[in-house]
Amino acid sequence: MTTTTTRTGYFARLAAERPDVALCRASALIARAADEHAAAQGLGVGQHLVLKMLAAVGPCSQQALSEELRIDRSVMVGVVDGLERSGLVRRERNPKDRRAYAVSITDAGRAALARIEATIPEFLARAFANLTVAEREQLSALLGKLLRDPTRDSGASSPAR
């Protein structure tokens, strides 16, 4: 007979043994919380990220948004379409390449972004309540390190460093 304690204990051991499993489960948990938070603000997570990037770097192509934010190009089309319908971004011909469009944030988009950004510290505090500030900083640094290496091959094994 399996008890709740045994199952809980097993996953803790599994997570310690398999950081990939732990990261996937933690990612799913945080992603659900982020989706719920973004929806409560009237946007999706992808839409929030697009507005944030456009405000930071200025007009850019959907391809650049897709690559930089690591959102599939087919998904990015829907994200930008929704933002455009809501009046939060606009597509304009790229003056450097008339065949392409540049996406830019509107004043309404900047206002929406400011409202959402004001809610982020409280969301992060709730989502990461089990971690100290130092642990959150360490987690961010480690995740950044993992995400900086685009040459990672999921099938390759390399020694720990």
What residues make up the domain containing 124?
10-147
- Please spell the DSSP secondary structure of 26-59, one letter per residue: HHHHHHHHHHHHHHHTTS-HHHHHHHHHHHHH-S
- Domain membership of residue 154 (yes or no) is no
Residue 70 carries which DSSP code?
Answer: T
Asked whether residue 83 carries a pLDDT value surpassing 60, the answer given is yes
Quick one: pLDDT band at residue 149, thresholds 50, 70, 90? low
Asked whether residue 101 carries a pLDDT value surpassing 60, the answer given is yes
Cα 102–chain centre separation = 22
* Angle at alpha carbon of residue 144, lines to 141 and 149, rounded to 5°: 135
What is the pLDDT at residue 150? 61
- Domain membership of residue 73 (yes or no) is yes
- Domain membership of residue 33 (yes or no) is yes
Asked whether residue 63 carries a pLDDT value surpassing 50, the answer given is yes
- 60 SS3 class: strand
What is the pLDDT at residue 2? 52
**What is the mean pLDDT of the segment spanning 16-29?**
91
- Please spell the DSSP secondary structure of 94-123, one letter per residue: ETTEEEEEEEEE-HHHHHHHHHHHHHHHHH
Cα 23–chain centre separation = 14
Least confident residue range of 14-28, 43-57, 69-83 = 14-28
CATH of the domain at 48: 1.10.10.10
Least confident residue range of 15-24, 129-138, 144-153 = 144-153
**49 in Cβ contact with 75 (< 8 Å):** no
Place of tokens 């398999």: 18
- Domain membership of residue 157 (yes or no) is no
**What is the mean pLDDT of the segment spanning 4-13?**
69
- Domain membership of residue 1 (yes or no) is no
- Domain membership of residue 161 (yes or no) is no
- Domain membership of residue 50 (yes or no) is yes
Mean of the per-residue pLDDT values of the chain: 87
Quick one: pLDDT band at residue 151, thresholds 50, 70, 90? low
**What is the mean pLDDT of the segment spanning 56-78?**
94
**What is the mean pLDDT of the segment spanning 111-122?**
96
How many domains in the chain?
Answer: 1
- Domain membership of residue 153 (yes or no) is no
